[in-house]
Structure 1
Amino acid sequence: MTRNDHNISRKSISEAALKVLYRLTNSGFRACLVGGGVRDLLLGIQPKDFDVATDATPEQVRELFRNSRIIGRRFRLVHIRFGREIIEVATFRSHSSDSPKTELSTEGRILRDNTFGDIEDDAMRRDFTANALYYDIANFSILDYTNGLKDVENRTLRLIGDAETRYKEDPVRMLRAIRFAAKLDFEIEELAGEAILYCGHLLAGIPPARLFDETVKLFHCGNAVRVFELLRSYDLLQYLFPALNEILKGEPAEAMLDFVDQGLVNTDNRINDDMHVSPAFIFAILLWPAVHQQAMKLQSDKLRIVPALLQAGSDVMSRQLEHISIPRRFSQMARDIWTAQPKFQRTQGKHPARLLSLPYFRAAYDFMCIQSMVSLIPANLCLWWTDYQKTNPPPTHSRRQREPRPQRRRKRNVD
């Protein structure tokens, strides 16, 4: 597609990405903008980052850019840093199972993929047609080897090649399909969707640390409500949040379902308003039905509510960590949010000021207000705390500056 036939302008491409494209081109290499950046620009969305594909090897790219470093073993890439912006540069790859630089597991999963090829080969090894579009800086044309332009126009998410084979190569592609469909308002093509139902169990073999990254991307994509619907529809929730999935397969209270939905709406609103959202909050929301259910059982055994929440939160989080490796700073904050909930009932004396002074107060307050919106707790409780903050602004919490550790004095050698 020539420049006159598409809407992509260099004004929409970051200065850093243009520098990379032009330096590679001027050095005799072929360089193209590729992937989500091209897709988003065609859709009228300003990309958050830009990726470049080239026929230069990682070592050749590294020689051209002093502000770069080669990363990865499974896929060797080059990251070029311009201040806070990082441009990711990948060499054109050719997917060949016979190459010594390509390694597959017995299940067909890609363990290593560093066989280089040409741009046509590179397009065919990408996951979805919508992500296999190239913006050629040499003549400003769009190169389409997989009919991706038509799929972008029709808002269809279609896998390149046999769907089951592509999911076996990398099961995380199923989660990427969910994310792109929700974020871009695309429909997952029928064969790609059917294969998810057959291949979902492969997610059980993905390292929990990688699933944490993908889960955060899913629920911070700006349409977490749709993500949740699709995860349930394709029966993938069980591999990410088995405790929640078990409750949903039973007969959960309608108010608890409304709570999860409203929590996701709250997250979407903050993301779309460019407000900060901690991963701890989304985990606190999605694990709360299981924590609340277990805490109520413990409380019925004459354990007070806060100790019951502490024990339930610890048990549920421990089981969750077997599936998703949640960093301690987020898992602890989720537990703090849970155990803070009964404390909002104490509105007399010094209790409100103490709660207000806690660093996680705002997240716990938002969590409590979501409960009040769906009638899990009295609605006037959220109103009371909202009014209280107007006359008693919460303190600003800054990170403590660590004092340098005192160094041990060296003993002087006495001759």
Structure 2
Amino acid sequence: TITRYFTENGDSPMERIIEQVLKNTDTRIHNDMRVNPAFLFAAMFWYPLLETAQKIAQESGLTYHDAFALAMNDVLDEACRSLAIPKRLTTLTRDIWQLQLRMSRRQGKRAWKLLEHPKFRAAYDLLALRAEVERNAELQRLVKWWGEFQVSAPPDQKGMLNELDEEPSPRRRTRRPRKRAPRREGTA
């Protein structure tokens, strides 16, 4: 599954994320901290997940969110053919992945709900890992915001959310109303 993402130079995002997640894991073990195998799987299979979701969205015409959900199944099914991954770990891996899509949407009560999620910390760590590996400024801003939000007092959190509300939000696509079939005479 993941070997097709390896390059001769060893510098693809896939290789960088695997190298960094393994370094971080070594550090955690050295410091007698817990290690969650689901986090390792979420990181290792992140790029195959993105590629599969993109492919499904293009081929099927599904929304990206729906394609992402199907891709999670495909990627984990393929991984389970080679590795014996218990269901409890695949469930946690899915949670971590799903939170990645939700972390950019922080307005209203969403930020607090996300912060209360049992896998928030793992999802935040994956977001930080992605920001580091991809050198993506938007992800880095998101990591910084969530890092500050986690340690802020509730009044300061409210202020951070109010600042978000003042930012212009990206325009949403408007959908045309669905065309309804004309009613036939004589049917009740």
Q: Please report the TM-score for the alignment, with normalisation by the length of structure 1.
A: 0.34
- Counterpart for residue 389 of structure 1: 150
The aligned counterpart of 1:175 is none
Q: Residue 247 of structure 1 aligns to which amino acid in structure 2?
A: Y
- Pick aligned residue for 1:325 from 67, 81, 84: 84
How far off its partner does 1:300 sit?
3.4
Does the C-alpha gap of structure 1 residues 358 and 294 become closer, same or farther in structure 2, counting only changes over 3 Å? same
Task: Tell me: CA distance 1:357–1:248, structure 2 relative to 1, closer, same or farther (3 Å).
Answer: same
Q: In the alignment, is residue 287 of structure 1 matched against residue 42 of structure 2?
A: no
SS of aligned partner of 1:346? coil
SS of aligned partner of 2:35: coil
Residue of 20, 33, 36 corresponding to 1:275: 33
2:57 is aligned with what amino acid?
Q
Give 2:102's aligned amino acid: K
1:309 matched to 2:68? The reply is yes
| Kept after mapping to 1: 8 A contact 2:18/2:43 | yes
The equivalent residue for 1:245 is 3
SS at match of 2:131: helix
Structure 1 gaps of 5+ residues are: 1-242, 394-415
Q: Cα gap change, 1:346/1:392 in structure 2, threshold over 3 Å: closer, same or farther? A: farther
In structure 2, give the amino acid aligned to 1:387: E
Measured against aligned partners, the alpha-carbon deviations of 1:208-259 in whole angstroms (never above 9, x if no partner) come to xxxxxxxxxxxxxxxxxxxxxxxxxxxxxxxxxxx00122269997333322
Task: Specify the code of the residue in structure 2 equivalent to 1:383.
Answer: K
Match of residue 164 from structure 1: none
The question of 1:259 aligning with 2:8 is answered no
- What is the distance in 2 between the residues matched to 1:274 and 1:306? 37
Cα distance in 1 between the residues matched to 2:29 and 2:148: 25
Counterpart contact for 2:6–2:12, Cα < 8 Å? no
Could you say which residue in structure 2 is the equivalent of 1:352? 111
Instruction: Provide, for residues 26-65 of structure 1, a one-character-per-residue CA deviation record: whole Å limited to 9, x for no partner.
Output: xxxxxxxxxxxxxxxxxxxxxxxxxxxxxxxxxxxxxxxx
1:305, 1:342 within 8 Å by CA — same for their partners in 2? no
Q: Give the TM-score normalised by the residue count of structure 2.
A: 0.72
State the one-letter code of the partner of 1:349.
Answer: G
Q: Show CA shifts across 1:353-404 (max 9, x none).
A: 11111111111110011011122552111000000101268xxxxxxxxxxx
Displacement after TM superposition at 1:310 (Å): 1.4
Match of 1:336 among 88, 95, 119: 95
SS at match of 2:85: coil
1:51-104 residue CA offsets vs partner (Å, 9 max, x unmatched): xxxxxxxxxxxxxxxxxxxxxxxxxxxxxxxxxxxxxxxxxxxxxxxxxxxxxx
Aligned partners of 1:386 and 1:255: how far apart in 2? 23
The superposition leaves residues 159-215 of structure 1 with CA deviations (integer Å, 9 ceiling, x where unpaired) of xxxxxxxxxxxxxxxxxxxxxxxxxxxxxxxxxxxxxxxxxxxxxxxxxxxxxxxxx
How far does the alpha carbon of each residue in 1:288-337 deviate from its partner, in whole angstroms, 9 at most, with x for none?
12111111222335433332221111111111111111111111111111
2:139 pairs, out of 374, 378, 392, with 378
Whether the aligned pair in 1 keeps the contact of 2:128 and 2:139 (CA below 8 Å) is no
Matched-pair contact (CA < 8 Å) for 2:18–2:44: yes
Q: Distance in 2 between matches of 1:250 and 1:351?
A: 42
Bigger-Rg structure (1/2): 1
Which structure would you say has the larger RCO, counting Cα contacts within 8 Å and 6 or more residues apart?
A: 2
* Of 342, 364, 368, the match for 2:127: 368
Say whether the 8 Å CA contact 2:21–2:43 is kept in structure 1: yes
Post-superposition CA distance 1:125-183 (Å, at most 9, x none): xxxxxxxxxxxxxxxxxxxxxxxxxxxxxxxxxxxxxxxxxxxxxxxxxxxxxxxxxxx
Q: Unaligned stretches of 5+ in structure 2?
A: 155-188
Could you say which structure has the higher helix fraction? 2
Measured in 1, the distance between the counterparts of 2:17 and 2:5 equals: 14
Percent identity between matched residues is 34
Displacement over 4 Å in runs of 4+:
249-253
Cα distance between partner residues in 2 of 1:290 and 1:336: 16
- Given that 2:5 and 2:15 are in contact with CA atoms closer than 8 Å, whether structure 1 keeps it comes out as no
